[in-house]
Structure 1
C-alpha cells in the first residue's frame, strides 16, 4: 500500500458514523502491520491531517484537513444556495437538515444543520449510508440515467440488496420501483425505514453548470410527526426547492407539471 493509499484509507474511516478512530481500528480494518500503521498515523499527525487526543489516544481530523474542507465548501456557491434552503426550513420546523451527495451506492453527508427541536437526529458530516435505505438516497438515485443505475446495482431485478433493513427494498427490482416513484414525485419520504424510529423527507437540486447533484433532507423522529404531517413536510420541502431549481435552470424543476 502506497502512502497516499494509506492516507485515503484512514480518512475514509471517518465516513462511517465516527468522529474518532483508534490505533486498533486502523489495524483491524486496514490490515496493516503495527509498524506500518504507527508510521502512517505519525506522519498524518505531523502533517496535520490527523490530530491525536493525548488523554484518549484517539485520532480526529486534523486542522489542515478541516481548513481544506471549509475552503471547499465556501468555493461552491451552489452548495451555499442549497444550504440557505435548508437553514430556512430547519429554522421553521425545528428539524435537523442535511445536505448530501451520492458516492457510488452510498449517500455522504456534506453539511448538517441542527434544528431547535429538543430531540434531534444527528449524523456527522462525512457519514455514509446505503442509498437504497433512505429517502435521501432514493431521490439521489432517481437522478441517475438507467445505464448508470445498472452499473451500480446491476440490471437483474431479482438481485438481492445486502442486509436490507425492514421496510427497505430487498431487491433491485423493488429499488427501481421506489426510485421511479421518487423521480415522478421529485421527492421521497421514508419513515421507519433503514433506521427504526426515524423519518425523513428529501428532494434534489442539480447545478447545470457543474453537473453536481445535491440531496436536501429534513429528518425527524417518527414519534414527532404523523404520516399526514410527514406528507405536508415533504410538500413544504418541494415548494422551497422548486423555485431555486427553476432559477438555476435545473431541468427537473423546469417542467410545468404541477408540484405535489
Structure 2
C-alpha cells in the first residue's frame, strides 16, 4: 500500500475514533507493521498533517488539516451540502427531494427539488411545516435527540396521529430506536395521504441544528422491492455530508450496518 493511501487511512481512523492515536492504535486497526506505521506517522507530522503530543507521544490532526477543515466549514454550510446531495438523489431516484430542519416539534422544509419520474410528483414547498412524529423526515430528525428530549417535544401531540404514524410514546421511541440503528426512515401516507417518504438526518455540531434529507413519492411506488434501495441511497447521502461536517453519528457509522 502506498504512503498516500496509508495517510488517508490514518486520517479516516482518527475521524472515526475521534481521539489521538498511537503507533500501536494504528498498527492494530489497519493491520500494518509498527515500523511502517511509525514511518508514515512521522512523515505526516513532518509535513504538517499531524502533530505529536510531547508527553503521550500520540498523534492528533496537524495545522494543515485544521486549517483546511476551518476553510471548508467557513465556505460551505450544511444546508448547501445537503442541497447538492438532494440533486444527486433526484437524478438517481427520480422523485422529489427535500432538505428539512427540525424546528421544535415540527419539521420545516428548507429546500425542494422536483423529481422527473412519472406524472405525479409530491409538492411541498419551502416553508411548509409538519408534525415531526408523523413523517419519515420528521422521525429521522427526532432520532438525533434522546428519547426524553423527543417526548418533551411531541408527547401531547401524538393524539393527533393519522394513518400508520406512531400513536403512543412507546411506539414512537421504539420507532426512533430502529431509525438510529438503520440510519434512515420510511413512511407511507401518514401526514399527507397517498404520499410516501424516505429520509435520513445529520447534526451540525457547530450550530446544534438537525437537518434532514429525503425523497417523497406516491405511496404505491414505495414497496418491498425498492424501499431498502431507496433507504440506502438516502442514508448514503446523509453519510457523505455527515462525515464532511464531523457529525459523530456518521463518523461512527460502519458499512456493516448497511444490511440492516
Q: TM-score range by the shorter chain?
A: 0.5 to 0.7
**Residues 171-190 of structure 1: matches in 2 within 5 Å?**
171-190=168-187
Q: CA separation in 2, counterparts of 1:243 and 1:98?
A: 16
Q: 1:201 Cα deviation (Å)?
A: 0.4
Matching of residue 245 in structure 1 with residue 242 in structure 2: yes
Contact 2:198 2:231 in 1 (8 A): yes
Count of residue pairs the alignment pairs up: 182
When the two structures are superposed, what TM-score results if normalisation uses the length of structure 1? Answer: 0.65
Q: CA separation in 1, counterparts of 2:147 and 2:171?
A: 15
**Residues 79-90 of structure 1: matches in 2 within 5 Å?**
79-90=79-90
- Structure 2 regions of 5+ residues with no counterpart? 1-74
How has the CA–CA distance of structure 1 residues 186 and 256 changed in structure 2, closer, same or farther, with 3 Å as cutoff?
closer
Q: CA separation in 1, counterparts of 2:77 and 2:165?
A: 34
Q: 1:114 Cα deviation (Å)?
A: 0.7
Contact 1:142 1:183 in 2 (8 A): yes
Q: 1:256 Cα deviation (Å)?
A: 4.4
Between Structure 1 and Structure 2, the one with more helix by share is 2
Q: CA separation in 2, counterparts of 1:225 and 1:151?
A: 32
Structure 1 partner of 2:198: 201
**Residues 11-50 of structure 1: matches in 2 within 5 Å?**
none
Structure 2 partner of 1:143: 144
> Secondary structure of 1:228's partner?
coil
Structure 2 partner of 1:164: 161
Structure 1 partner of 2:71: none
> Secondary structure of 1:227's partner?
coil
Q: 1:194 Cα deviation (Å)?
A: 2.7
Deviation sequence 1:13-72 (CA, Å, 0-9, x none): xxxxxxxxxxxxxxxxxxxxxxxxxxxxxxxxxxxxxxxxxxxxxxxxxxxxxxxxxxxx
Q: CA separation in 2, counterparts of 1:222 and 1:88?
A: 22
Q: 1:195 Cα deviation (Å)?
A: 2.5
When the two structures are superposed, what TM-score results if normalisation uses the length of structure 2? Answer: 0.65
Structure 2 partner of 1:34: none
Q: CA separation in 1, counterparts of 2:253 and 2:200?
A: 17
- Structure 1 regions of 5+ residues with no counterpart? 1-74
Structure 2 partner of 1:259: 257
Q: CA separation in 2, counterparts of 1:211 and 1:238?
A: 20
Q: Which runs of 4+ in 1 moved over 4 A?
A: none
How has the CA–CA distance of structure 1 residues 172 and 77 changed in structure 2, closer, same or farther, with 3 Å as cutoff?
same
Structure 2 partner of 1:152: 153
Larger Rg: 2
Contact 2:133 2:154 in 1 (8 A): no
What is the aligned counterpart of 1:214 among 192, 211, 215? Answer: 211
